[in-house]
Amino acid sequence: MHTFLTRDIPGIGGIFKETAEDFRVTEIPLYEPCGDGEHTYAVIEKSGITTLEAVRRIARTVGVGERDVGYAGMKDARGITRQTISLPRVAPEQLLRSELPGIKIVSAVRHKNKLKLGHLRGNRFRIRIGGVDGDAGTRAAAVLAVLEKRGVPNFFGEQRYGAQGNSHLIGGAMLRGDYGGAINALIGEPDRVTDERWRLAIEAFKAGDLEKSLGVFPPHCRTARELLQKLVRLPDAPEKAFRAVHPRLRKLYLSAFQSELFDRVLAERLDSLDRVFDGDVAYKHDNGACFLVTDAAAEAPRASLFEISATGPMFGCRMKEPEGEPLVRERRLLEAEGLTLQSFALDGGLRMEGERRPLRVPVKEIGIETDGSGLVLEFSLPKGSYATTVLREVMKPS
């Protein structure tokens, strides 16, 4: 994806995430704990581990089941991140005394209910970009002023598509019932990896030597190894072999495909990001409700005030469709993939209902400061959107 909303403003270039300190994320809670109840809400600060790994370590330390631990959102392993988790029947004092590698318990307060996924308002970011020149602050400020007025393009971006950038290809093949294609996409392409053994394993697979490929694949490529083990036994039954892939991963691949289709729709609408058209399904930023736009001219003031925004499709079998030209565009995209909305009505727990996602999101609490040869950006975004979308506009990577 090489289009930018702020393409008239030169990017600052540079690099980020040189150290954990360069990328700080703080969750903005939807509500504060009340101080009473059987659950304890703990604000944790972690570095170098994922949310799920933090949950595993804390649950094991205090003696509760991992499934009983609640959290509002997933946070990256890279950088320093603060988020809230909930634990049942654990005293705040016990948590505050706990010593956990890579995790600091910042606070612990009782509350009545388990924290649920999505129960957050958004995230606040503090990001240092290194290796920039003297006028980077001026250019970054110009970009952020446009994003503050028009909105941040709500792309998922490359981080959604896995280490080889192939997760959406796997999901698309699954939806078309092409499990041979899904396996090929999962194994990937040799020129997308730098590990020598991994590259040789992919080349052996492409040459049709499954046993050699299995023997060479590095241990960390667990999913590919488990898939190949089954495929060696069932070379003519790719759908059965693909069942070796964990259901959670299969769902992730399907979700990545949904995301990639959304990103394509957004790329087409980039220049009219802050407008709504007749037939659009619009999103209300104050409560998340959606409605059909029947008079675009009448809704234009609300769009300019950032009260509403046009949405794009997270395709699914029960997704609300637009009308008119927006519907034509979305159906054309699905048809080019050989799919309909009913294609997403999968069984085996993989059914995808679908939803609408706003094409833009507001960026708030903007701050810019220089730091030697670097630039520090601060901003907040609503839940479900990514800091990389802001960085992409500011840095304009090639």
Please tell me the predicted confidence (pLDDT) of residue 172. 97
Q: What is the mean pLDDT of residues 333-356?
A: 95
pLDDT interval class at 137 (50, 70, 90): very high
Tally of residues, the chain: 398
**In Å, how far from its chain's centre is CA 332?**
25
Contact 29, 83 (CB under 8 A): no
Q: For the segment 23-48, what is each residue's pLDDT rounded down to a tens digit?
A: 999 999 999 999 999 999 999 999 98
Active site residues: 76
CATH number of 31-118: 3.30.2350.20
Query: pLDDT by residue (tens digit) across 171-195?
Result: 999 999 999 999 999 999 999 999 9
Span(s) in the chain for CATH 1.10.1510.30: 161-248
Q: Are the C-beta atoms of 328 and 286 separated by less than 8 Å?
A: no
DSSP states along 105-169: EEEEEEESS---TT-EEEEEEEEEEES--TTHHHHHHHHHHHHHHH-EE----GGGGTTTT-HHH
Give the N- to C-terminal CA distance of the chain in Å, as an integer: 10
- DSSP secondary structure, 172-194, as one string: HHHHTT-HHHHHHHHH--GGG--
Of 70, 69, 21, nearest to 45 by C-alpha is 21
What pLDDT does 162 receive?
80
What are 229-259's pLDDT values in tens digits?
999 999 999 999 999 999 989 999 999 999 9
Instruction: Select from 3.30.2350.20, 3.40.50.740, 3.20.20.70, 3.40.50.1980 the CATH code of 273-361.
Output: 3.30.2350.20
At residue 1 the predicted structure's pLDDT band, cuts being 50, 70 and 90, is: very low
pLDDT at 294 over 60: yes
* Ranges in the chain annotated CATH 3.30.2350.20: 31-118, 273-361
Residue 148 has pLDDT above 50, yes or no: yes
Cα separations (Å) of 138 from 4, 109, 126, 128, 147?
Answer: 18, 42, 18, 16, 14
User: Which residues fall within 8 angstroms of residue 320, CB to CB, at 6 or more apart?
Assistant: 281, 290, 356
Amino acid at 274: D
pLDDT at residue 159, rounded to an integer: 76
Q: How many CA atoms lie within 13 A of 262 on its CB side?
A: 29
Which residues have CB under 8 Å from 145's CB, separation 6+?
Answer: none
User: Residue 154's CB: how many other CB atoms inside 10 A?
Assistant: 25
Nearest to 260 by CA among 316, 320, 310, 313: 313
Question: Which CATH number is 161-248's, of 3.90.1280.10, 1.10.1510.30, 3.40.30.10, 3.40.220.10?
Answer: 1.10.1510.30
Using the predicted structure, report yes or no on whether residue 55 has a pLDDT greater than 80: yes
DSSP 387: H
Task: Please write the tens of the pLDDT for every residue from 316-340.
Answer: 999 999 999 999 999 999 999 999 9
Task: Give me the residues paired with residue 314 across strands.
Answer: 355
